[in-house]
Structure 1
Amino acid sequence: MLKLGVLASGRGSNLQSIIDAVEAGELSVEIEVVISDNEDAQALERAAKHQIEAQYVGPEDYNNNQDFEQAIIDDLERNDVELVILAGFMKLMSPYFIEHYQGRIMNIHPSLLPAFKGLHAQQQALDYGVKVSGCTVHFVDQGMDTGPIILQAAVPVKEDDTEESLANRILEEEHRIYPAAIKLYAEGKLEIEDGRVRIAK
């Protein structure tokens, strides 16, 4: 069974959607460890509640970024993690980390990439006046929100939307497509070819 390691910095709602899919029998994977760079992250509480190993790895405890990332790699390797899931992990990982898990790191972003990369994607969408936004699950490469796209879901933008209301509607779709993307990976149905993800039938 595919072994996951989840990196999260905040409340962990996407982590919860993956846990729920596993517990409902919809997703045949094992979440081996949840790691956070934020000691107060609700994601760590969610993990502990479901008897999943929860680890805090603080950047301030290490001399440099590579030592910090190596500590995370050590935790992931100790748990035999095969696929790394970024679930609201707010630290941009270096090429050192990404090369270590090349093709085995997924992220979810609250826009229809390649539009509105980086922080506050929902507000970016509102400021630009788009009529449709959404979310994207992608493999992580060395750019910011630039890796090969796995799944996307569209969400209409309403005239009276605020950043919060749009974010909440997008989040519902995030909770649906992130477990779906992990399932495709677990079933061996994803292949990266010329920078594109091809999904086997």
Structure 2
Amino acid sequence: MKIAIFGSGNGSNFQALAEYIIKNKNQYKLVMVICDKPNAYILERAKKLNIQSYLVDYNQHKSKTDAEKSIIDLLVNDEVDYILLAGFMKILSTSFIDKFQNRIINIHPSLLPSYPGIGAIKKAYDNHDEYIGVTTHYVDGGVDTGKIILQDKIKVNYEKSLEEITHEIHKIEHVLYIKTLQKLLQNYEQRD
């Protein structure tokens, strides 16, 4: 099963996924990283792991459509089965999503459908929710509205700071994304 990971930032989810994929290379192949930010640390992480990375700076293209076409060409050329969004901060167009229907996965730091969009952990924390969690879901045309794949949560100890809770959530993200990858593999093998 061929995987592409899209990211815009630090790449901690990418790192966890990449290490898992490398250990399980008979089942998965991480064929590329797509990044839209020239200084994003995910590019350095990919380089250290000898994983092909592509910088697709949307500002260097005539339009969003043009930038996405260059990404589509890369994905089609390498016959990518699934795209995992790991902190990719661009909203993908409907035409891009339609081209890879049910093959684009996102991870979001909330128990969707609660708190879609940015700032989810802070919103849940400020609301004093009993639980804060993480969701993996298929990407559709909305913001964090696609079909849910998996969720996990922690009971919040409000003696901890928002930063400490955020760190705990990131640890859960790494584990949940790997479980999601395992589930995708099961689905992939069943369709063959």
Do these two structures clear the TM 0.5 threshold for a shared fold by scoring above it? yes
Q: Partner of 1:138 in structure 2?
A: 137
Q: Partner of 1:194 in structure 2?
A: none
Q: Partner of 1:25 in structure 2?
A: 24
| 1:42-121 matched pairs, under 5 angstroms | 42-121=41-120
CA gap of 1:168–1:52, structure 2 versus 1, over 3 A, is: same
SS at match of 1:151: strand
Aligned-partner Cα distance in 1 for 2:22–2:94: 34
Instruction: Please report how far the alpha carbon of residue 26 of structure 1 lies from its aligned counterpart in structure 2 after TM superposition.
Output: 8.6
Contact 1:32–1:53, Cα closer than 8 Å, also in 2: yes
Q: Partner of 1:160 in structure 2?
A: 159
CA-to-aligned-CA distance 1:33-67 (integer Å, 9 cap, x gap):
00100011111111111111011000111111111
Aligned-partner Cα distance in 2 for 1:119–1:161: 21
Contact 1:141–1:147, Cα closer than 8 Å, also in 2: yes
Structure (1 or 2) with the greater strand fraction? 1
Q: Which runs of 4+ in 1 moved over 4 A?
A: none
SS at match of 1:38: coil
SS at match of 2:173: helix
Aligned-partner Cα distance in 2 for 1:168–1:27: 31
State the TM-score, normalized to the length of structure 1: 0.90
Contact 1:130–1:157, Cα closer than 8 Å, also in 2: yes
Q: Partner of 1:6 in structure 2?
A: 5
CA gap of 1:32–1:65, structure 2 versus 1, over 3 A, is: same
CA-to-aligned-CA distance 1:110-144 (integer Å, 9 cap, x gap):
01000111111110101211010110010000000
Q: 51-60 or 72-81, which moves further after superposition?
A: 72-81
CA gap of 1:190–1:112, structure 2 versus 1, over 3 A, is: farther
The count of aligned residue pairs is 190
Could you tell me which runs of 5 or more consecutive residues in structure 2 were left unpaired when the two chains were aligned: none
CA-to-aligned-CA distance 1:91-117 (integer Å, 9 cap, x gap):
111101100111000000001000111
CA gap of 1:150–1:190, structure 2 versus 1, over 3 A, is: farther
State the TM-score, normalized to the length of structure 2: 0.94
CA gap of 1:92–1:77, structure 2 versus 1, over 3 A, is: same
Instruction: Please report how far the alpha carbon of residue 27 of structure 1 lies from its aligned counterpart in structure 2 after TM superposition.
Output: 8.0
Contact 2:125–2:132, Cα closer than 8 Å, also in 1: no
SS at match of 1:10: coil
Aligned-partner Cα distance in 2 for 1:189–1:156: 33
Aligned-pair RMSD on alpha carbons?
1.7
Q: Partner of 1:174 in structure 2?
A: 173
SS at match of 1:187: helix
